[in-house]
Amino acid sequence: MAPTQDSTRPSAFDPIRGIAVRLQLPRLLNFAALLAPLLLLGFTAGALRTVAGLPTHPPPRRRLLQFAWVALLLVGVPAWLVLAGMLRLW
């Protein structure tokens, strides 16, 4: 006879609601888990923008750094929001 799963114990897979059950974190921790990577992306992009504005770098390197901080925001933020949605952080 196959063992039955206790209905009070959360499962890692719920076929009705999707691949993973929503994380059981308090609301503040859940909000912090959602915003922390966005803040990290923002600070990193800001640092790249600051470095790109320094006159000590040659123009090709400054253009590359300017492209990098814009690409980081345009690609990183939506990618994190999609990943956070897949992880059911919100």
- CA R_g for the chain: 21
**pLDDT band for position 76 (50/70/90)?**
very high
Answer yes or no: are the C-beta atoms of 47 and 73 closer than 8 Å. Answer: no
Nearest CA-CA partner of 38 in 65, 78, 5: 78
Rounded Cα gap, residues 90 and 84, in angstroms: 7
At 2-47, the pLDDT tens digits run 555 555 555 555 555 555 555 555 777 878 888 999 999 999 999 9
Task: Inform me whether the pLDDT recorded for 86 exceeds 70.
Answer: yes
For the chain, give every domain's residue range. Answer: 27-86
Which one has a higher pLDDT value, 5 or 48? 48
